[in-house]
Amino acid sequence: MNPKNILLIWIGRVGDFIVSTPFLASVRQAFPEAHITLLVRSTVSDLANLDPNLNECCALSFSQFLSVPFKKFDLVIDLNPSYSRTSGFLSLLTHSPRRISFQKKRGNLFYTDQVPFDEKDHMLERYRKLAKYMGNSLEPFPQVYPLSSHRQEAGQILSRLNLNKDRKLIGIHPGNFKKFDHRWPEEKFVELTKKLTKVPQIQILYLTGPGEEEPIRKILEKIPVKIPQVPPTSLPVSAALIKKLSLLIANVTGTLHLAAAVGTPTLSFHSGYTYQIWRPLRESHAAIVSKSWASCRDISVEEAWKKLYQIVVK
């Protein structure tokens, strides 16, 4: 097989795309001369457009959906491990002679090849199995590619916050507001932040995602010390800004995966499920794991502070 025109489909969120970037690199390594197109949600496209392993990035829209049958692809790969009717029909509409996906229910309706995996496999292990099925290897470390202009904009944002440059810069993102069970409680972020404000060698700031201004403002109102709040910005600028941090404290969100992709150490809060499937894999990423498979909310402030104290103070 030597495909000349490849379509990758990933109709997922920000973190989903970031974790899949090692697989994009493996496809490029296997087929260096191929034209590789990625179809993603519009919320991810500004980051995906910067990936050097892709020739083209298309944001999913009705017009894109209609144009698929008129493009000729030698190979289509659906990156979603779960059943998706949209990505299944898009794959089928290409009429590509080879359409690969992970093994899923009703997959035989849409795909010529399906790759089995274990439901408890980490996402990067799933992509390793997909790459191996195609005869490729995979380095299990995500990567994103902000430009110098994004780094410059990130620097300008930080300079407007009047930060103490002699202190370690620690970012906190209590996001994932749409997923209650996978979100460490806001009141616990308040208590942990209060403890951090008493450590003289650090400077704290809060990161804000789109639509998160109000809930994060309410968190900061409960902290007696004024904490700078970074407003929402584009994903590439966010990646460049996070790279400037000494540590990111976060729930399991796209922000956590951005930090992993730019090499910033993290401390994150996990249910048993998110630790098993979604945790960053490098040693620089510390995780606090609940005894619950489905929720991280029972992790105590004391447990979090003990882990954080070892990272920040010692």
User: Is the pLDDT score of 67 beyond 70?
Assistant: no
pLDDT digits (tens, 9 = 90+) for 204-251: 999 999 999 999 999 999 999 999 999 999 999 999 999 999 999 999
Report the range of poorest mean pLDDT among 69-73, 129-133, 294-298.
69-73
> What string of DSSP letters covers 60-97?
--HHHHHHGGGS--SEEEE--SS--HHHHHHHHHTT-S
Predicted pLDDT of residue 270: 98
How far apart CA 234 and CA 15 sit, in angstroms, is: 14
pLDDT tens, position by position, 175-186: 888 889 999 999
Question: For residues 33-66, b (16+ Cβ closer than 10 Å) or e, as one string?
Answer: ebebbbbbbebbbebbbbbebbeebbbbeeeeee
5-133: CATH number = 3.40.50.2000
pLDDT for position 63:
63
- Distance (Å, rounded) from C-alpha 307 to C-alpha 80? 34
Measure the CA–CA gap between 172 and 185, rounded to whole angstroms: 13
Q: Which CATH superfamily hosts domain 148-312?
A: Glycogen Phosphorylase B; (3.40.50.2000)
Question: If pLDDT is split at 50, 70 and 90, which confidence band does 307 have?
Answer: very high
Q: What is the pLDDT of residue 166?
A: 87
Average pLDDT over residues 265-277: 98
**CATH 3.40.50.2000 in the chain, residue ranges:** 5-133, 148-312
Q: What is the mean pLDDT of the chain?
A: 93
